[in-house]
Structures are given as C-alpha cells and as structure tokens.
C-alpha cells in the first residue's frame, strides 16, 4: 500500500472504477507495453487477490494468453486452493501451447497443489466436428463445470493483435476491420461499444455462463490495450480489473 501511495495509484484506481463502472480496480506501476516486469507484477497482484478471495471446493475458470501465464507463474498454495478445480475457459484457439487455457489451468493447479480439468479440443474445428465434440461426455463435463465457476479470470487482447497471433484467415481479418473490432476475450471479438462482432468457433465458456460467476477478474495492461479494456469492461468483465498504470491513464484519457 505504501508503494501505491507513493505512485499516486490509489486515486487512479478509484477514478477507473467509476469510469468503467467496476467493483474494484487494482493498478500496478508502469506500462507493460514498455517492460515485461510490469506484466509479472500484474500476475503477482492477481495471484495475491485470488488467494485472498478463494474458498474451498470452488471452480475457477481461466482463459489463455501471456498475461494469464504471468498469473499462473505467481500462484502459490493455500488451503482453499487444495480443493479448487481450475478449468480452462476454452479449448484450443490457435495459440502457442503455453498460452492455451489448458496449459495455464494445469500450471495453476500445479503451483497451488489444486486440481484441474483439460478440454482436449483442437482449434478451428468444422461445424460437423464441433457438433460431435459437443456430445462427448468429457467435454460436457468440462462445459458443465464452467457454468458453475465461482471465479472467472481472463485476459483481454487487442482485436487485430489476437487475430494475427492466432493466424486467422484473411476473411476473418477483413471482417474484424469492417466491424471495427477493438478487443478480444474468450475468443469473442468486440467493437468499442462492447458489442460482439465475431466469435472463434471453439468449445468453451459462453458469455451467458458468466451470469453465475461471483467474481469475474480481467487482467490486462499496457497503454495499447486501452480501447480493448474499455470495450470489454462495459459488457463482459463487470467486477474486477487488474491492470497497469499505462493502461489506466490511457483509458481515462479516452473519455
């Protein structure tokens, strides 16, 4: 807390809470666009926050990405985590393996001595394969546990950055451009008003499932993500945002 006062971040947190209409904002100093340790600090802040709010026998749904990986790397055991089930929010979406939700859920379980489930589905499945996979008992089980998640932790990406990173087709890139997509989360792409303009066909958490979650925690920073964070905070992530100073100031200057 003393460090935060030093950096004047407490006021910034309150300002961002009211700007984005969130229950709680936690800001770490710096800008993760500039240096990688800032992302690690967001990871540490999220891991600490989770440890504080986690209760025994809960399901925690986790998405993918490098920020979620930073969270996973900072996780530590606790008595509540021992009976926690970490569940990937989505199957493959075309990311490098260590950025997939599957890997991150398993790493969180390993670091905390908790449990995890896997969702073994390839990315970019055909309609037919998708329908078949949906009926698989092990997939159904995972989808059911996602609906029961008490806590959902997710990253937020820039729409174009994510589409390129996932090697999306030119048709998809064109669509995102046409629809002026700014942000991405859970494989959904949003425009600046927080409306869904495109969705990757992969199995996992539906936005409707979030209605049951007690705590939805977004972790995303870097001034370049300002528009994406603002778009997604209005609709998806109504609870908690863990971000950095760079993003926080950039969001406030969008107003």
Is residue 114 within the footprint of ligand G3H (CB under 6 A)?
no
- Closest approach of ligand G3H to the CB of residue 229, in Å: 11
SS3 199: strand
Phi, psi of 195 (to 5 degrees): -90, 140
Nearer to ligand G3H, 80 or 205 (CB): 205
Pairing of strands 157-158, 151-155: unpaired
Nearer to ligand G3H, 80 or 221 (CB): 221
Structure tokens given for 233: 């905070």
Beginning with the edge strand found earlier in the chain, give each strand of the sheet holding 24-28 in spatial order.
Answer: 24-28, 240-244, 215-219, 151-155, 59-62, 85-88, 115-116
Nearer to ligand G3H, 67 or 80 (CB): 67
Contact window for ligand G3H (CB under 6 A) among 114-122, 127-135, 156-164, 243-251: 156-164
Is residue 204 within the footprint of ligand G3H (CB under 6 A)?
no
- Closest approach of ligand G3H to the CB of residue 83, in Å: 27
DSSP collapsed to 3 states, 133-186: HHCCHHHHHHHHHHHCCCEEEEECEEHHHHHHHCCCCHHHHHHHHHCCEEEEEC
CA distance 127 to 161: 25
Nearer to ligand G3H, 78 or 194 (CB): 194
SS3 47: helix
Is residue 102 within the footprint of ligand G3H (CB under 6 A)?
no
Residues 47-66 that bind ligand G3H (CB under 6 A): 63-66
Is residue 162 within the footprint of ligand G3H (CB under 6 A)?
yes
Nearer to ligand G3H, 100 or 111 (CB): 100
Instruction: Tell me the per-residue interface mask from 63 to 82 with ligand G3H, x by CB under 6 A, - otherwise.
Output: xxxxx---------------
What are the helix (H) ranges across 21-148?
A: 36-53, 66-74, 101-112, 127-134, 137-147
Is residue 156 within the footprint of ligand G3H (CB under 6 A)?
yes
Contact window for ligand G3H (CB under 6 A) among 75-83, 106-114, 153-161, 195-203: 153-161
Note whether 99 and 70 are within 8 A (CB). Answer: no
With CA atoms as reference, report the closest residue to 217 among 79, 91, 62: 62
CA distance 56 to 112: 13
Nearer to ligand G3H, 80 or 162 (CB): 162
Nearer to ligand G3H, 64 or 246 (CB): 64
Q: Which residues bind ligand G3H (CB under 6 A)?
A: 63-67, 155-157, 162, 184-185
């Amino acid at each position: 807390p003393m460090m935060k006062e030093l950096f004047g971040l407490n006021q910034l947190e309150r300002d961002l809470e009211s700007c984005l209409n969130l229950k709680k904002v936690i800001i770490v100093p710096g800008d993760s666009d500039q240096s990688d340790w800032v992302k690690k600090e967001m990871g540490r802040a999220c891991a600490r926050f989770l440890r504080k709010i986690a209760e025994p026998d809960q399901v925690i749904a986790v998405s993918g990405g490098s920020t979620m990986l930073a969270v996973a790397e900072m996780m530590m055991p606790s008595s509540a985590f021992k009976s926690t089930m970490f569940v990937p929010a989505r199957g493959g979406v075309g990311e490098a393996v260590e950025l997939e939700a599957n890997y991150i859920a398993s790493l969180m379980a390993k670091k905390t001595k908790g449990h995890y489930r896997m969702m073994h589905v390839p990315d970019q499945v055909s309609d037919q394969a998708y329908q078949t996979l949906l009926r698989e008992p092990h997939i159904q089980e995972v989808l059911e546990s996602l609906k029961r998640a008490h806590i959902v932790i997710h990253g937020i990406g820039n729409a174009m950055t994510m589409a390129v990173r996932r090697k999306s087709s030119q048709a998809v890139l064109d669509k995102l451009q046409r629809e002026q997509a700014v942000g991405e989360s859970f494989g959904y792409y949003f425009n600046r008003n927080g409306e869904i303009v495109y969705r990757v066909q992969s199995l996992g958490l539906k936005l409707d499932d979030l209605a049951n979650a007690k705590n939805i925690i977004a972790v995303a920073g870097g001034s370049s993500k300002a528009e994406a964070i603002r778009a997604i905070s209005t609709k998806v992530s109504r609870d908690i945002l863990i971000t950095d100073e760079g993003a926080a100031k950039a969001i406030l200057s969008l107003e």
